[in-house]
Structure 1
Amino acid sequence: MRLTRVSVLLLLLLLAGPAGAVDRVAITVLQTSDLHANLLPWDYARGAEGAWGLARVATRIREIRKTAPNVLLLDGGDTIQGAPTGWLEARRPAGGPHFVAAAMSALGYDAMAVGNHEFNFGMDVLRRAQRDSSFPWVSANTRNEADGSAAFPEYLVKELDGIRVGVLGLTTPNIPGWEPLANRPGLKWEDPVATAGRLVPLLRGRERCDVVVVLLHGGLEIDLATGEPNGTAHENRAAALARDVPGVDLILMGHTHRRLPLTRVHGVPVIQPGRWGEALARVDLVVERSGGKSTIVEANGTLLPSDASVAIDPEVAAIARAPHERALSYLGEALATASGPFPGGRARLEDTALLDLVNETQLEVTGADLSLTSLLPFRFDGWEAGPVTVRQVYALYPYENQLVVLEVDGARLRSILEHAASYYGTVDWRDGRLVITPRAGMTPYNFDVLQGASYRVDPTAPVGSRVRELRFKGRDVTDGDLFSLAVNSYRAQGSGGYTALKGAKLLRSYNDEVRELLVERLRKAGTIQPRTDRNWFLAPETAWAPVPPPVAVPAVPAGTR
């Protein structure tokens, strides 16, 4: 009997393994973000090939899966809007899956964070694409206003070789600052840091997760070189998540379109793959199991670019073919003929025929007293003389903004223009000319220009007192004067720092998007002439000096849509 007991004990010890045995598991996390409906490497604004697209990323994904045993494939959101393919898909009659959802499902994505641009076409289009996806759309901080319940799945838990990985989805909380209420009915957004503080302990505890990954549609609210705030904490919360939420092992970022190789913020690895599938983020984790405890002992990451050396995946290309052909047909339509060039390069330094065309269209449609718009692309050369196609209008106005009319008084109007004038940063005299550089931290498309009133801007004056001689119909504008102002729905929410517009009385709204109103006006016009009335101008002579590229990490300005 004693011999039997000893034999059983030895067997149990052998099964349990040697005391202090260490087991290591390799986990590969792959991430895309801000695809914006770009499946193919094609620049729809220029009509040329581009170094991006999910079809190229797909080739890398499939290659990695051949050698990596435990792969988690995630996306950071803003998938269904952006390229013309996405806009046309939103208007396609029901029938067949959403092409972006179909492509991502074919690649076996595990989860996608919900981005702010998912709401651009309204909830019907969003829910359709969500239903067509074989993977969950996760956003723990998007809640139903009625009862506070989750509007989307909060997280995903996936077991890989015995390691339980929790993926917590979070969305930029500033959607009410960008998106009209009609596109987000009954929803509210919690601070992602508070949401993570509540759910990360749950993932570690009740869900028994060994690894916790935050999949964030949002970026960094600090300057990595200095650690100082960059002014975008209302929409970007990655640094606060790393600092204030214990138990987070990895943060996968998006939203700002930045390409950021793996770095550590407050000790937590963070990475961001840019936009449009221009790179695939890869993070390799090594998890060590010992004595019933799991610990990440290695975390290495890289960005894998989607350049021309990467082959196009045939399955994704086949899914993209029909939407791509629809877009090419739509963009190729000739709308009107420009009798002369409509330059755009100096649109933030002087009144231009290009932005006058946008403002005049908004005034014509609405009958408002005033109109406000901006040059939306970061850099835009304008239109040459000759045919103007839908592609050129799309390049000028890439966003799905609708048109609204607000009531503003003279004080609000001046505040709006002063905020626009704050775009001008350093001012230097060189060889008798004034050289102006944009203010760091203010995105170029947040420089708005007004039509319907005249004014002068002195960029050498202190911020807040640069707008001079503001007149309406030849009369000085007083604080108590009332005006109707045509503006896009994005700006009407107070976005871009235009807090003076937030809360302004809504007089009327239009279902048509500004871009489509421009298309219709050009169709009817036949010939357009480049005219400008120089209703606004800079007081001194100016010359343009580009902002030097950042030294530490290449990036577009923070807060990019």
Structure 2
Amino acid sequence: MTVTATVTSNLAETAGADVCLRLRLLATTDLHAHLFSYNYYANRPDDGVGLARLAAPILQARGESANCLLLDNGDTFQGAPLGDAALSDLMPTAQPHPMIAAMNGLGFDAATLGNHDFDYGVDVLERVISDARYPIVLSNVTKICGDPFVATHAIIERGMIDSQGALRMVRIGITGALPRQTMQWVRPQLAGRLEIAPILPAVAHEVAQMRAAGVDLVVVLAHSGLGAENAAPEDENVSVALAQLDGVDAVIAGHTHRAFPSPMMPQVPLGTAPIVQPGFFGSHLGQIDLELRPPARIAQPSGGCQQWQVVKTAARLRTAEEADAGQRHALRRKLYHLPSFRAEMARGHRLTRAYSARPLGRSAVALETYFSLLRPCMTTQLIADAQRLAVAPIIAGDPALAALPLLSCTTPFKAGGRGGPEAYSDVPQGALLLRHAADLYPYSNGLALVRATGAQIREWLERAAAAYRQVMPITDPDAPPQLMLDHEFASYNFDRMDGLRYKIDLRRPARTNAEGDDIRNGQGRIRDLCRACRAPVGDDDVFLVVTNSYRAAGGGHFPAAAECETVYLSSHPVRDVIAGHIAAMRGAVAPVINSGFSFTPLGGVRVIYETGPGAAAHQDRLAQLGLVFAGLSDSGFARYLLRL
């Protein structure tokens, strides 16, 4: 696909001795249907999220550079109530998806797709992206017939201003890719429809194709985390390896919700193309500045291809707070002259609020996740109960399954970690609305039932136990308290098995890092693994585990889960299962928490449990757990003292 911009001036015929051209790439990633700066779960404004909050910094960044491209890196349409509302009966079918409408309005130049963009199914996604006024590219996704799902690359021909004020034609090749594991994560939606190839060879092929077509510059939109320099072709996170491919000039990374560059990781390895990873939910705007020069400073034919080469790069992240008052005023002035666009955006916001406010039932208790990494909680118990009831008819119809004990694997999807101190669920006692179900379970994962051995379950739980730092058993009263949680760990990977009892021994180092990479062998953290009746779990014991399709496929780097035998898989979202469970209750929701995980006693060592500031409103739970407030961390987490 070639996208050619209209050029209204003649190209300069000579390249001066000091001629150069500066191009700025701007990028978003993992917006997850966060269009407005609004928290639909809590029904209040939220200045920390939304593509809308990046409009002013986009305008400012464009004003600073004569030549700009604006790109999106996928996971755009699913993950917040707006994504669900856009596909509901409330949204007019003739209208474009609100995310597409906004990106058209902001003038995006190209985009790729992420794994979660397929959560609603192939037909829905095709309908959504059909309204995009910019190319959408994917190098490694094909239909069963062998045809590309979307264009494998795009070549944008753009007239750009060089350092001498002359207009030059530059040809930018853009391709994209997403993890091959998507085929397993959303198997019910993709099976028989699409195939996904490994990222590295697919992108390398497209880079060669674009270079053969004479592009000046190649940009890769990689819906993939940074990964290792020596990443294998099959790996999920390969952006650093992509940046080392011959012919690649810039990489936009994503998928893992990291922000890069960051103070902890300010640079990519030497010899690689520049990379940015702009966080998630609109937290950051990625920026890569490229300085290009012609390889030979000789006269070029008017209208010819200049064949620019990158000689200097700089990568950074911008935040909404960096936009000055002048740019915000300019944005408001621009929107004032776009009444139809403003009306379209207002309609999307209004309908999302209406959709989110649909009633389900009532709760007799608060459903929060502030303490979910310290003890089993009512939120995960509600999910566990709903999952058990959903698979009961499937199990009852198969005597071989009915003979096995059933476990329900749940996780607190929003419980801090890399999501930050505001990333917690906190549904108050009282009316339960559809937005509350989406708060407790924000993803559209299907329901899955797997057959697992005791050994596989133990390894499954070892991966979840990487949520914690190692705690040394120091009982000196003058010793400073030790931090308990690793905030690099994503809370949606903290699985617990309802139906089992076990202890987590924090004296032992974790066997995987926060990302799930194996970092050590030997004895693990899981101790005294037993059934609810306290009968020990043997390695050869067999269980049924109800979980979601993402985890059953090993999503979140759970190889033990992927090794289990899948006996039932549905595309019906677990979130809808929860909503139906609540709606079917005759009385108010009041989950009874089953015994589950606890911690091996460490002789009274002092630790600090960090959670969201909103935990302060739950004084009864704080007292029950023996937590004593110890101030706020520099990153905004509330710190509580605890003895193990």
**If the length of structure 2 is used for normalisation, what is the TM-score?**
0.73
Structure 1: how far apart are the matches of 2:256 and 2:536?
Answer: 40
Change (3 A) 1:530 1:366: closer
2:366 equivalent to 1:365: no
Structure 2: how far apart are the matches of 1:16 and 1:333?
Answer: 64
**Contact 2:142 2:196 (C-alpha < 8 Å) held by counterparts:** yes
Per-residue CA shift, 1:45-86, capped at 9, x if unaligned?
333322342334334444555664433221111111111111
Amino acid at match of 1:399: Y
Amino acid at match of 2:136: W
Per-residue CA shift, 1:467-489, capped at 9, x if unaligned?
31412555433344333221111
Match of 2:270 in 1: 266
Structure 2: how far apart are the matches of 1:384 and 1:356?
Answer: 16
Local SS of the residue matching 2:469: strand
2:593 equivalent to 1:532: yes
Match of 2:42 in 1: 46
Alignment partner of 2:453 out of 376, 386, 409: 409
Identical aligned residues as a percent: 28
Per-residue CA shift, 1:410-469, capped at 9, x if unaligned?
333333233333443302235589956345864322121111233344343564362314
Match of 1:157 in 2: 155
Structure 2: how far apart are the matches of 1:181 and 1:94?
Answer: 25
List gaps (5 residues or longer) in structure 2. 1-11, 160-168, 301-306, 396-405, 417-423, 509-521, 612-634, 636-644
Structure 2: how far apart are the matches of 1:235 and 1:213?
Answer: 19
Structure 2: how far apart are the matches of 1:536 and 1:382?
Answer: 22
Change (3 A) 1:238 1:419: closer
Alignment partner of 2:463 out of 391, 403, 419: 419
Change (3 A) 1:505 1:273: closer
Alignment partner of 1:493 out of 541, 550, 553: 553
Equivalences, count: 525
Q: 1:231-246 counterparts in 2 under 5 A?
A: 234-243=235-244, 245-246=245-246
**Structure ranking higher on relative contact order (CA contacts 8 Å, 6+ apart):** 1
Structure 2: how far apart are the matches of 1:340 and 1:215?
Answer: 44
Change (3 A) 1:347 1:463: farther
**Contact 1:120 1:183 (C-alpha < 8 Å) held by counterparts:** no
> How far apart are residue 393 of structure 1 and its match?
2.7
Alignment partner of 1:287 out of 267, 288, 292: 292
Runs of at least 4 residues of structure 1 off by over 6 A? Answer: none
Match of 2:76 in 1: 79
**Contact 2:376 2:595 (C-alpha < 8 Å) held by counterparts:** yes
Structure number having the greater strand percentage: 1
Per-residue CA shift, 1:335-359, capped at 9, x if unaligned?
4443344442221222222211111
Structure 2: how far apart are the matches of 1:529 and 1:390?
Answer: 17
Alignment partner of 1:303 out of 317, 328, 331: 317
Alignment partner of 1:322 out of 347, 357, 378: 347
Alignment partner of 2:444 out of 400, 403, 413: 400
Match of 1:179 in 2: 186
Amino acid at match of 2:430: G
Which piece of structure 1 moves more, 305-314 or 30-39? 305-314
Amino acid at match of 1:345: Y
> How far apart are residue 493 of structure 1 and its match?
0.7
Amino acid at match of 2:595: R
Structure 1: how far apart are the matches of 2:35 and 2:544?
Answer: 41
Match of 1:464 in 2: 524
Structure 2: how far apart are the matches of 1:424 and 1:506?
Answer: 29
Match of 2:123 in 1: 124
> How far apart are residue 184 of structure 1 and its match?
5.3
Amino acid at match of 2:68: V
Match of 2:421 in 1: none
Amino acid at match of 1:320: M
> How far apart are residue 118 of structure 1 and its match?
0.9
**Contact 1:53 1:306 (C-alpha < 8 Å) held by counterparts:** no
Change (3 A) 1:356 1:36: same
2:493 equivalent to 1:446: yes
Change (3 A) 1:102 1:478: same
Structure 2: how far apart are the matches of 1:454 and 1:66?
Answer: 59
Change (3 A) 1:67 1:487: closer
> How far apart are residue 546 of structure 1 and its match?
4.3
Structure 2: how far apart are the matches of 1:449 and 1:182?
Answer: 27
Match of 1:248 in 2: 248
Structure 2: how far apart are the matches of 1:240 and 1:228?
Answer: 6
